[in-house]
């Protein structure tokens, strides 16, 4: 597993509490790690999207992953892709976060008496709640969540 950061430790503990309270515990503990965290400079975006007006808007890009240890090996259960727009963003994006996620529900190890669907939903909701609990005190005021059909 990747090393823990303050953010991943906070999220991992809160995810554990939320899942325990939901009675939809996966078979193994969920480990949360911050896989990437970097400022997306406008010049970088302009290289790929030279015509886009959004290239002028700075943001922080984060990838947050949830793992389970199965047979001693880390297995990716979910990844959240987050864009954080701070105080330096224009009014439309100022202090907002955008979240998209990718889950690999087929690999989520659940208790024998629990269907994967409810455990997957509970895990996703716990991850999202933990992330929002971490960014709200940092001054973010709105979250936009991209749902996959």
Domain positions in the chain: 6-146
Tokens of 19: 């899942």
Q: 2-60: per-residue pLDDT in tens?
A: 999 999 999 999 999 988 888 777 767 889 999 999 987 766 666 766 666 556 778 89
Residue 26 DSSP class:
B
Nearest Cα residue to 5 out of 60, 63, 82: 63
pTM for the structure as a whole: 0.85
């Amino acid at each position: 597993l990747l090393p823990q950061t303050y953010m991943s430790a906070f999220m991992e503990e809160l995810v554990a509490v939320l899942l325990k309270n939901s009675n939809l515990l996966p078979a193994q503990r969920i480990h949360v790690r911050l896989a990437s965290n970097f400022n997306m400079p406008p010049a970088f975006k302009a290289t790929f999207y030279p015509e886009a007006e959004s290239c002028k808007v700075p943001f922080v890009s984060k990838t947050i992953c949830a793992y389970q240890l199965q047979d001693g090996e880390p297995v990716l259960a979910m990844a959240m892709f987050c864009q954080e727009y701070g105080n330096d963003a224009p009014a439309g994006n100022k202090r907002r976060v955008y979240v998209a996620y990718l889950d690999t529900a087929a690999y989520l190890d659940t208790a024998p008496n629990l269907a994967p669907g409810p455990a997957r939903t509970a895990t996703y909701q716990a991850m999202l709640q933990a992330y929002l609990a971490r960014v709200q005190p940092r001054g973010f005021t709105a979250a936009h969540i991209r749902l996959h059909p």
